[in-house]
Amino acid sequence: MLSDTTIPGPPGHWLIGNLGDIDVDNTTESLCSLTQTYEELPRPRLTSTGPIWKFHLGSEERIVVGSQALMDEVCDEGRFTKIIAAVLKQARNGVRDGLGTAHGPEERNWGIAHRVLAPHFAPLAIESMFGDMHDIAVQLVLKWARHGPEHDIHVTEDFTRLTLDAIALSAMDYRFNSFYKEAMHPFIDALTSFLSTNGDRAKRSSVLQPLCVLENHKYWGSIEQLRRTGHAVISARKMHPSDKKDLLNAMLHGVDPETGERMTDDSVVNNMITFLFAGHETTSGLLSFTFYYLLSNPAAYARAQQEIDDVLGDDAITAAHLAKLPYLSAVLRESLRLSPTVPAIALAAREDTTLGGKYQVKANAPIIALFAAVHRDPRVYGSDADAFRPERMLDEHFHRRNQEFPNCWKPFGNGMRGCIGRSFAWQQALLVAAMLLQSFDLSMSDPSYRLKIKQTLTIKPDGFRMRARPRHRAALSVLQPTTTITSTACPPSTATIGEDEALKTKIDIYYGSNTNTCKQLASRLVDNAADHGFAVGATGTLDAAVKGLSKKNPVVLVAASYNGQPASNAARFVGWLSALRSDELADVAFAVFGCGHRDWAKTFLRVPKYLDQTLQKCGGTRLAALGTSDVAEGKVLSDFSAWEEHVLWPVLREKYGGAAARTAHEAAERALQVKVLVSGTSALRCGLRQARVFANTTLSGPDAPTRKHLEITLPLGTTYRTGDRLAILPQNPRSVVRRALKRFGLSQDSVLTVTCAAPTPLRASRFS
């Protein structure tokens, strides 16, 4: 039965409601101020739900919640769902059912796009974008260095150029080159106008909107420019295909595993624009607020810069360094706590319910979850909740607090509708902040500046300027590309001819993953097995292992938890496992590695823990302690490598023996080797012989990557049977050969022999 406790709120005008109580130019600060008015004081530590109030715009009622306790309630996706209102509702005019503006799973294109793109936003996929992010960050650092220490930097403008260029290059392999032009690209001008006007349109009645003739003309013109540019990018990619594994290729060619459908061109454009406006606005705001808070707190600035010096020194930053910067991570978290760049989300109850055990809420009534107030809840953050203190956000305190007070830190949204690009934004923010602290001593242009907010779709500091004094030449020299030629080790392979015969003990490896992270980790096990003296037996998804776990081979499971649920390719396995009796897995030896995200504190690692415990309860023998990784920390690969090297392989060798593990010298011999030869052209043939292609049929459509059916007549004396491999020796264009010879200083009769024991592109992965 619903409570009849009335939600308080300010009295409003009979026609316009509470429009006069809210500052339309700075809605967030206005709502936060009103939220403080309805703060329940004193608030018992464990019983009070905190501030809740309502206001009206015209005849529409909106409820505001501003405490962790109420935030935790409305984050229950079983009771509440995200709704598209205000600015986002206007943004649908331009991006329709893109990931950020779709109403949810009920819109078909949202589901297809989400399932296609989620694997490309997984931590390991984002790590592969590090080079493109670094490319753009170097441009920013060099610009600041060349302007000199007396130049006043327009912080938000430069960070906007940075984040737009980084997303465009990483996602679409497209360069806006914003740091090389005074005027912005027409697409960016249109995007800026579109975002600003969305905010203005959201503040006025739909009755008044047709009267804004000039604004409407410019607004729809901006949308036309955005969509025209988007379709032009698609056409260019189709005319000139690229094998780069970027988001544009994923959107054009990715197949939804649930429906078997591809994204339409319109859906690609919707999401392309969404990534650009949502990604650049939030990350540029995060970086701007971060440096404001650091420069306002000299002790925090000094500690962050000292951490950079200790970890990086004068070395160029790499992706591996990012996981070694806990204080800088805490700085970013604290900045987002005090100034969440997306300050609120709109939700609604799925059916009539109560909040805080006493406040009646009707189904579909808009609820504003005000992050800017929730993040300063004194019940969670103490009496200094308004102060910038990064120490409270160091890993140990951060994780403990999120466990004790779930959903107390929500800058990236909630659950299924949370920010899909979170890992992208976090990696970029860490990278840029680290490079700037390494390269410059920064200061405010105006030491008396106090934070002012500018709000559109997101919030940013208004009028914030900095100056950047290069610290020393060595710090800037690491930005320059080197010309050193290195030998790169190939991943080990279990597929060397004749090798499997020597490896008698096999291991079975299964994974459950929606985003490919666990699949990639399982693939590493496959690649590394031979180096530790083991062959590989069965491999595949967890669902492929239903009713089929080996009692002979040790079994390794790599699984993720998604808001407490198994991956789509592991759900049947979990269901099968839950129905087993206590002795049905006797003689099955297993080990489990799990991935999770601490933002879902209530269900963190639920599935991996369930697998580990249930396999043992059903009679299985646990070979190694459960390995885990929190993907929010960006250390998935290092966590897995540590578990693999120091826990899993030692246990397997001790129990099963296997072939002798390779020594470091033997492993090095499997590295990629390049040697320069001076020999005749016969060396190039490598014993291969000519064959004749007598059938060549194109199988793919005009908009897909080219796929061919070939029929080949083999030379006399050559045999081939099913399962054999056909090696093809390609010939490079002469222009490319000449460029390579010039680059490496080689004569035309030199020959490079490249050898690697790992699988080549001629051999498909076991998990393909």
CB-facing half-sphere around the CA of 446: CA atoms within 13 A? 9
Going from the C-alpha of 560 to that of each of 358, 370, 767, the distances in angstroms are: 37, 30, 17
Query: What is d(CA 279, CA 170) in angstroms, rounded to the nearest whole number?
Result: 12
Rg of the chain over CA atoms, in angstroms? 29
- The answer to the question of whether 419 is labelled as a binding residue is yes
3-state DSSP assignment of residue 443? strand
What is the H or E stretch that residue 225 is in? helix 213-239
Q: Which residues pair with 84 in a beta bridge?
A: none
Structure-token match 């004194």, residue found: 378
The single-letter DSSP state of residue 549 is -
* 189 token code pair: 């001008």
**Dihedral in degrees, nearest 10, Cα atoms 384, 386, 387, 393:** 80
Q: Which of 75, 408, 419, 618 is catalytic?
A: 419
Q: Would you tell me how many other CB atoms lie within 10 Å of the CB of residue 85?
A: 17
Query: What is d(CA 654, CA 469) in angstroms, rounded to the nearest whole number?
Result: 57
Instruction: Give exposure, 440-452, as e/b (b: 16+ Cβ within 10 Å).
Output: bebebbeeebeee
CA 213 to chain centre: 40
3-state DSSP assignment of residue 246? coil
Going from the C-alpha of 283 to that of each of 25, 70, 158, 267, 564, the distances in angstroms are: 22, 27, 12, 24, 28
Cα first-last separation, the chain: 54
Q: Name the nearest CA neighbour of 334 among 297, 383, 281.
A: 297
Check if the beta carbon of residue 478 is closer than 8 Å to that of residue 316.
Answer: yes
Query: What is d(CA 665, CA 662) in angstroms, rounded to the nearest whole number?
Result: 8
Query: What is d(CA 632, CA 333) in angstroms, rounded to the nearest whole number?
Result: 12
* 115 token code pair: 């399932």
Check if the beta carbon of residue 74 is closer than 8 Å to that of residue 367.
Answer: yes
Q: Which residues pair with 468 in a beta bridge?
A: 442
Structure-token match 């955005």, residue found: 226
* 604 labelled catalytic: no
Instruction: Give exposure, 176-214, as e/b (b: 16+ Cβ within 10 Å).
Output: bebeeeeebbebbebbbbbbebbbbbbbeeeeeeeeeee
* 590 labelled catalytic: no
Asked if the bond preceding 42 is cis, omega within 30° of 0, the reply is: yes
Q: Which of 277, 412, 440, 464 is catalytic?
A: 412
3-state DSSP assignment of residue 623? coil
Query: What is d(CA 443, CA 226) in angstroms, rounded to the nearest whole number?
Result: 37
Q: Name the nearest CA neighbour of 32 among 290, 334, 338.
A: 338
Structure-token match 């919640």, residue found: 65
Question: Checking DSSP bridges between strand 621-622 and strand 535-541, what pairing results, if any?
Answer: unpaired
What are residue 275's phi and psi, to 5 degrees? -60, -40
Q: Which of 81, 156, 282, 458 is catalytic?
A: 282
Provide the residue type at 316 as one letter: A
**Dihedral in degrees, nearest 10, Cα atoms 413, 451, 86, 278:** -50
* 282 labelled catalytic: yes
What is the H or E stretch that residue 712 is in? strand 708-713
The single-letter DSSP state of residue 583 is T
Q: Residues with Cβ < 8 Å from 106, sequence gap 6 or more?
A: none
* 224 token code pair: 């036309």
Structure-token match 């031979």, residue found: 530
What's the farthest any 2 CA atoms get from each other in the chain?
94
Annotated binding site: 419
Positions at the binding site for heme: 419
Catalytic residue numbers read: 282, 412, 419
